[in-house]
Amino acid sequence: MFSQFQEGKINFPPTYKYLPGTQDFETKKMRVPSWCDRILFRAPDEGLNQLFYTSVTKFVFSDHKPVTSLFEAKIRKTDPVAKQEVQKKILENLESLKDQVNPTAAFSDAKLHFKDLKYQEE
């Protein structure tokens, strides 16, 4: 069924049958821990390179551990107009994120007194 697909080398612990809320495998039902969560990909022209493939062990909300992968893709042809639109949207999103992470301060008309304030002194 998936003979045209490939999977990266599995170098992570089994992803299934954990006790939810823990890092422990469920043992009462005698199920064998297994790799149920997988990422398969198809790269017929070798233009896709898997950079890493791993499970996210810190998540404990399920009896499964999610898996993640990062790919590098070679692009043969681009649409310059669409590329420019995507770049513009990315820059707009980054600009809005910048506003969210920059600290802000507001001062009232009240007086502020800083006693013995020092800056960049050892």
pLDDT score of 104: 63
Question: Does the residue 84 lie in any domain?
Answer: no
Q: Which residue has the higher pLDDT, 8 or 34?
A: 8
User: What is the domain count for the chain?
Assistant: 1
Whether residue 17 contacts residue 34, with contact meaning beta carbons closer than 8 Å, is answered with yes
Question: Does the residue 56 lie in any domain?
Answer: yes
Question: Does the residue 50 lie in any domain?
Answer: yes
Share above pLDDT 90 across residues of the chain, in percent, rounded to a whole number:
17
Instruction: Give tens-digit pLDDT for 66-113.
Output: 889 999 988 878 899 999 999 999 898 888 777 666 666 666 777 767
Question: Does the residue 42 lie in any domain?
Answer: yes
Question: Does the residue 117 lie in any domain?
Answer: no
CA distance 32 to 119: 60
Range of the domain at 27: 6-75
